[in-house]
């Protein structure tokens, strides 16, 4: 369907004591743009005496067009002239008739902006307060987790094992391929770089010490945790957030179930179990990768590699890495759950909180790693 563009023409009334506007074409949203400038000009120039708006040339109209005509009438009325409609079919006049004289006023934004000082420091204060409430929320969840999935009325001691197993499957078992691949490559890269540098000193064999200690103490658990923060932390936030959005969390509360117990606790348990196990898998994969590279680049045989590894690392190297895993798992889960609980009503806020959750979780994981490093060196572990 093609529309003609809207047109407006002004001419003086025969007696000279007024004006007549001739409207023609289609007055629709799609067709009014071309004459909008002219229209606004006519609307603003002061006219004297009587103003006649001739509708008889109008082929079709919609609310946008009718609203312009209505606005014109109001404007002319305010300028002191009397505006009347002439011609035009019933429906057109009726449509113009039902529109209000003035556009309904948007609510005036009387929000107090505050002084410069306030505007400068209010966001900082808000951020601090938010940090505080985040901390409380995290402690609440952690506390609930320590006490177990406390149901209302002290019903049921724990959590359904089926749920925990499902989550272990989703967060742990299904992450194995990507963790293995990633760690294998990381081990290989560290070994290759190390071998090149150590070659200058003729100490290529020490690449085994390098990879073994670095991987077991730091890299293995750290990268696995970062991977899980991205993979499962985001999933937890999205799941809990979309349940929050659709009032499912409220429904749980009303039914008498504790959302922390039903939703968050199994995920925390699953993460705490899965992450250490994944770390072990990652360590094996990385050491294998390193062995392959050491053999290919430096001609270190597997036998030599293993015996050197045996000398280089002891149980403390393994333990110091593994101890960190459950703590990191807990903090990933808690950060993700807190962010999930903060999701508001919109899809946008869901996206925002998922992003925040991943960023915060990775940050917390790295921070914890640093704290552990200081701690270990202090106690000479």
Which CB atom, from 97 or from 132, has the smaller least distance to another protein?
A: 97
Which CB atom, from 97 or from 161, has the smaller least distance to another protein?
A: 97
Q: Which of 23, 25, 28, 259 binds another protein (CB under 8 A)?
A: 28
Other C-beta atoms closer than 10 Å to the C-beta of 368 total 19
Which CB atom, from 16 or from 104, has the smaller least distance to another protein?
A: 104
Alpha helices in the chain (DSSP H): 36-44, 63-78, 90-98, 116-147, 161-171, 176-199, 207-214, 220-228, 234-245, 248-255, 259, 265-298, 302-312, 315-341, 347-379
For the bound state, the minimum distance from the C-beta of residue 90 to another protein, rounded and expressed in Å, comes to 8
Nearest of 132, 126, 377, 156 to residue 265 by alpha carbon: 156
What is the distance between the alpha carbons of residues 216 and 202, in angstroms, rounded to a whole number? 24
Q: Specify the stretch interacting with another protein by CB under 8 A; choose among 25-33, 179-187, 261-269, 357-365.
A: 25-33
For the bound state, the minimum distance from the C-beta of residue 359 to another protein, rounded and expressed in Å, comes to 20
Q: Which of 73, 95, 281, 285 binds another protein (CB under 8 A)?
A: 95
Tokens of 211: 């990879």
Which CB atom, from 217 or from 244, has the smaller least distance to another protein?
A: 244
Q: Which of 127, 178, 347, 367 binds another protein (CB under 8 A)?
A: 347
Instruction: Supply the DSSP symbol for 103.
Output: P
Cβ atoms of 313 and 212 within 8 Å: the answer is yes
For the bound state, the minimum distance from the C-beta of residue 346 to another protein, rounded and expressed in Å, comes to 4
Which CB atom, from 7 or from 204, has the smaller least distance to another protein?
A: 7
What is the distance between the alpha carbons of residues 270 and 45, in angstroms, rounded to a whole number? 74
Position 59 contacts another protein (CB under 8 A): yes
Which CB atom, from 14 or from 100, has the smaller least distance to another protein?
A: 100
Q: Which of 67, 265, 327, 372 binds another protein (CB under 8 A)?
A: 67
Strands 50-61 and 18-27: parallel
Position 80 contacts another protein (CB under 8 A): no
Position 104 contacts another protein (CB under 8 A): yes
Q: Which of 98, 120, 129, 370 binds another protein (CB under 8 A)?
A: 98
Phi/psi region, residue 152 (left: phi>0; alpha: psi -120 to 50; beta: rest), is beta
Tell how far CA 160 is from the center of its chain. Answer: 30
For the bound state, the minimum distance from the C-beta of residue 249 to another protein, rounded and expressed in Å, comes to 14
For the bound state, the minimum distance from the C-beta of residue 240 to another protein, rounded and expressed in Å, comes to 17
What is the distance between the alpha carbons of residues 62 and 96, in angstroms, rounded to a whole number? 9
Q: Which of 10, 22, 64, 142 binds another protein (CB under 8 A)?
A: 64
Position 326 contacts another protein (CB under 8 A): no
Dmax over CA atoms of the chain, in Å, equals: 114
Cβ atoms of 231 and 240 within 8 Å: the answer is no
Q: Which residues make up the interface to another protein (CB under 8 A)?
A: 1, 28-30, 32-33, 36, 59-60, 62-64, 67, 71, 89, 91-92, 94-95, 98-100, 103-107, 245, 344-349
């Amino acid at each position: 369907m093609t529309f003609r563009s809207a047109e407006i023409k002004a001419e003086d009334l025969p007696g000279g004591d007024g004006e007549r506007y001739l409207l023609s074409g289609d007055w629709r949203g799609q067709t009014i743009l071309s004459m909008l400038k002219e229209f606004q000009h006519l609307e603003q120039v002061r006219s004297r005496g009587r103003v006649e708006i001739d509708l008889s040339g109008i082929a079709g109209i919609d609310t946008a067009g009718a609203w312009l005509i209505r606005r014109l009438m109001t404007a002319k009325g305010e300028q002191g002239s009397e505006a009347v409609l002439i011609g035009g079919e019933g429906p057109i006049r009726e449509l113009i008739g039902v529109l209000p004289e003035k556009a309904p006023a948007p609510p005036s934004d009387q929000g107090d902006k505050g002084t410069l000082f306030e505007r400068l420091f209010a966001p900082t204060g808000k951020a601090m307060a938010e940090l505080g409430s985040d901390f409380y929320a995290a402690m609440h969840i952690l506390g609930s987790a320590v006490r177990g999935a406390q149901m209302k009325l002290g019903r049921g001691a724990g959590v359904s094992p089926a749920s925990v197993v499902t989550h272990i499957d989703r967060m742990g078992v299904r992450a194995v391929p990507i963790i293995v691949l990633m760690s294998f490559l990381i081990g290989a890269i560290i070994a290759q770089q190390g071998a090149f540098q150590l070659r200058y000193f003729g100490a290529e064999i020490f690449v085994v010490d390098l990879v073994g200690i670095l991987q077991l103490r730091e890299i293995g658990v750290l990268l696995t945790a970062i991977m899980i923060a991205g993979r499962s932390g985001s999933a937890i936030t999205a799941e809990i957030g979309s349940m929050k959005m659709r009032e499912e969390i409220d429904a749980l509360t009303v039914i008498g179930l504790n959302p922390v117990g039903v939703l968050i606790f199994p995920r925390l348990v699953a993460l705490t179990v899965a992450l250490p196990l994944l770390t072990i898998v990652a360590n094996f994969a990385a050491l294998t990768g390193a062995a392959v590279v050491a053999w290919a680049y430096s001609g270190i045989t597997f036998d030599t590699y293993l015996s050197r590894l045996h000398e280089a690392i002891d149980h403390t190297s393994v333990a110091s890495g593994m101890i960190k895993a459950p703590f990191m798992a807990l903090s990933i889960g808690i950060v993700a759950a807190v962010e999930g609980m903060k999701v508001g009503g919109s899809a946008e806020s869901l996206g925002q909180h998922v992003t925040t959750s991943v960023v915060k979780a990775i940050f917390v994981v790295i921070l914890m790693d640093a704290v552990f490093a200081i701690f270990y060196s202090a106690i000479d572990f």
